[in-house]
Amino acid sequence: MLVLGVETSCDETAAAVVDGGRILSNVVSSQADIHEAYSGVVPELASRAHMERVAAVMERALRGAFGAGSGLADARRLDGVAFTQGPGLAGALLVGKVAAQTLAWAAGLPLVGVNHVEAHALSIGLAPNAASRRRLFPYLALIVSGGHTDLLRVDAPGRYRVIGRTRDDAAGEVFDKVAKLLGLPYPGGPAVERLSRAGDPDAVRFPRPYLRGTHDFSFSGLKTAVLYHVRGSGLRAPYPRRFAADVCASFQEAVVETLIEKTLSAARELALRRVVVAGGVAANSRLRARFFSRARGEGLSVLFPAMSLCTDNAAMVAYAGGLKLRRGLRLRAGRFAADPALPITSWGNKSITAA
């Protein structure tokens, strides 16, 4: 099943064509250069950039799938169109919704909305080995990004249970805020990771917000602890490289330990032997290394999508949308509303196999 996916939930304008579990094209237009001056995403600027870029990005995705000379008119060769319906920034979601809806209407194609968190959770299905995808379920998915820190039990595509979520700041959001505090460039996550390699993760013992008795997350207190430490140092920006590196390494270690401890605790409680880690923060090399080490020690299998599928992309949207379309699910006329707070829900009692 050939599906075009459109992703505009935040500051990446993306489109991709996926055939089952095979990526034919995956185009991402980053807005990092626009938001860098503000050290964070400005929703209005993000929406405007999506409007300016989405048609060209969709055309590039179709050309990448069908060859040079192809374009929007070749959308009729598709079997359906999928878009990120939520959660995300309201204006940004609306741009992607309208673009996908218009193309689907013009080409006479079915349209389906996809939950952004759900797409991350299923993105591991785009791994090369189709047989391994069918043996994945059930698994525990940790979705960790700039806007989300969620734990989901995934029994099959379309069968989910929310186990835990952030009560305040998401992990990726805190990375960005710590980077801004230290005067590091945007996006903050990669900047903190790079500088942390020169630091000592044991230099500062920042708190680990485990929230005993729940699988939820909370990183606002950790963010405040970093702020107090920097202010209490008596130093002024620009901070000495060694000081900033130690703060980054110690902060990153606190986030990584918290994510791993709470995820493995949930996996033990649910008796799940497989863990999938997805979302932008899943690209963090320290998180990957520590997760693999801890999982081996506990006899668990931990899986990460390809690096290109960790950050926001449309291939995961197209893949999840294709699974829904094969199930016969699609949006009816008048039910196309984008939802910034869209909850993740199961598709029904019947499960479907990954293709």
Phi, psi of 215 (to 5 degrees): -95, 10
141 and 104 in a common domain? no
Question: Which is more confidently placed, 352 or 164?
Answer: 164
Percent of the chain scoring above 90 in pLDDT? 90
> What string of DSSP letters covers 276-333?
EEESGGGG-HHHHHHHHHHHHHTT-EEE---GGGTSS-SHHHHHHHHHHHHTT--PPT
Q: What percent of the chain has pLDDT over 70?
A: 95
Same domain, 314 and 292: no
Neighbour-count burial of 60, counting CB atoms closer than 10 A to its CB (0-12 exposed, 13-18 middle, 19+ buried): middle
- Determine the structural domain holding residue 198 and report its residue range: 136-304
pTM for the full predicted model: 0.94
Q: 50 and 97 share a domain?
A: yes
The reply to whether 162 and 264 lie within a common domain is yes
Assigned domain for 251 exists:
yes
- pLDDT for 332 equals 72
Do residue 86 and residue 145 come from a single domain?
A: no
- Total number of domains constituting the chain: 2
Under 8 Å between Cβ of 87 and 339: yes
> Are 171 and 279 part of one and the same domain?
yes
Instruction: With a cut of 50, say whether residue 66 has pLDDT above it.
Output: yes
Give a yes or no: residue 164 inside a domain: yes
**Residue 213 sits in the same domain as residue 268:** yes
Q: Are residues 188 and 57 in the same domain?
A: no
> 146 and 278: one domain?
yes
Give counts: helices (H), strands (E), the chain: 11, 10
Whether residue 59 is found in the same domain as residue 200: no
315: domain CATH number is 3.30.420.40
- Could you read off the pLDDT of 185-204 as tens digits, one per residue? 999 999 999 999 999 999 99
Listed residue (341, 335, 339, 347) closest to 101, CA to CA: 335
**Residue-level pLDDT at 354:** 42
173 within some domain? yes
95 lies in the same domain as 151: no
pLDDT for position 129: 53
Please tell me whether residues 294 and 314 are part of one structural domain: no
